[in-house]
Amino acid sequence: MRIPVLTNLLEESDALANLNRQTFDAAGVFVVNLMSSPGAGKTTILAKTIELLRDRGLRCAVLEGDITSTLDSERLAPLGVPVVQANTEPFGGDCHVGSHFVKAALDHLPIHDLDYLFIENIGNLVCPAEFYLGEHRKVVVLSLPEGEDKPVKYPLMFRECQACLLNKLDLLPYLDVSVPLLRERIATVNGGLTVFPVSAKTGIGLGSWIEWLELGRTELQAAKCGVSVSTS
Amino acid sequence: MRIPVLTNLLEESDALANLNRQTFDAAGVFVVNLMSSPGAGKTTILAKTIELLRDRGLRCAVLEGDITSTLDSERLAPLGVPVVQANTEPFGGDCHVGSHFVKAALDHLPIHDLDYLFIENIGNLVCPAEFYLGEHRKVVVLSLPEGEDKPVKYPLMFRECQACLLNKLDLLPYLDVSVPLLRERIATVNGGLTVFPVSAKTGIGLGSWIEWLELGRTELQAAKCGVSVSTS
CA distance A221 to chain B (A): 37
* pLDDT > 70 fraction of chain B, expressed in percent and rounded: 94
What ipTM is given for this predicted complex?
A: 0.87
Least confident among B86-95, B143-152, B196-205: B86-95
CA–CA distances in Å: residue A124 to residues A120, B83, B149: 11, 26, 15
Residue B1 confidence (pLDDT): 41
Tell me the residues of A at the B interface, defined by beta carbons under 8 Å apart: 1-5, 7, 37-40, 66-69, 71-72, 93, 95, 122-127, 143, 145-147, 149-150, 152-156, 168, 170-171, 174-176, 201
Q: What is the four-CA torsion angle of A108, A110, A116, A121, rounded to 10 degrees?
A: 0
> What would the pLDDT profile of A64-97 be if each residue is shown by its tens digit?
999 999 999 999 999 999 999 999 988 888 899 9
Half-sphere exposure of A217 (CA within 13 A, CB side): 21
Mean pLDDT, residues B162-190 taken together: 97
Tell me the residues of B at the A interface, defined by beta carbons under 8 Å apart: 1-5, 7, 37-40, 66-69, 71-72, 93, 95, 122-127, 143, 145-147, 149-150, 152-156, 168, 170-171, 174-176, 201
As beta bridge partners, residue B36 has B141
Residue B11 confidence (pLDDT): 84
Mean pLDDT, residues B71-83 taken together: 94
Spatial separation of the C-alpha atoms in residues A62 and A44, rounded to whole Å = 13
Predicted confidence band of residue B184 (pLDDT cuts 50, 70, 90): very high
Predicted confidence band of residue A3 (pLDDT cuts 50, 70, 90): very low
pLDDT of A6 higher than 90 = no
Nearest to A150 among B39, B175, B201 (CB): B39
Predicted confidence band of residue A4 (pLDDT cuts 50, 70, 90): very low
Label residue A199 exposed, middle or buried (CB < 10 Å: 0-12, 13-18, 19+): buried
Residue B92 confidence (pLDDT): 82
Tell if the CB–CB gap between A5 and B3 is shorter than 8 Å: yes
Closest residue in A to B44 (Cα) is A147
Mean pLDDT, residues B27-41 taken together: 97
The secondary structure of residue B232, as a DSSP letter, is -
Spatial separation of the C-alpha atoms in residues B139 and B137, rounded to whole Å = 6
Predicted confidence band of residue B91 (pLDDT cuts 50, 70, 90): confident
Mean pLDDT, residues A165-177 taken together: 97
Predicted confidence band of residue A230 (pLDDT cuts 50, 70, 90): low
Closest residue in B to A93 (Cα) is B126
Chain A CB contacts of B152 below 8 Å: 68-69, 71
Considering chain B, what is the average pLDDT of its residues?
A: 93
Check if the beta carbon of residue B166 is closer than 8 Å to that of residue B182: yes
Chain A CB contacts of B126 below 8 Å: 67, 93, 95, 122-124, 127
Nearest to A150 among B7, B38, B154 (CB): B38
CA distance A19 to chain B (A): 25
- Global pTM reads 0.91
Residue A228 confidence (pLDDT): 63
Least confident among A19-23, A94-98, B31-35, B149-153: A94-98
Residue A153 confidence (pLDDT): 95
Predicted confidence band of residue B9 (pLDDT cuts 50, 70, 90): confident
Spatial separation of the C-alpha atoms in residues A69 and B163, rounded to whole Å = 23
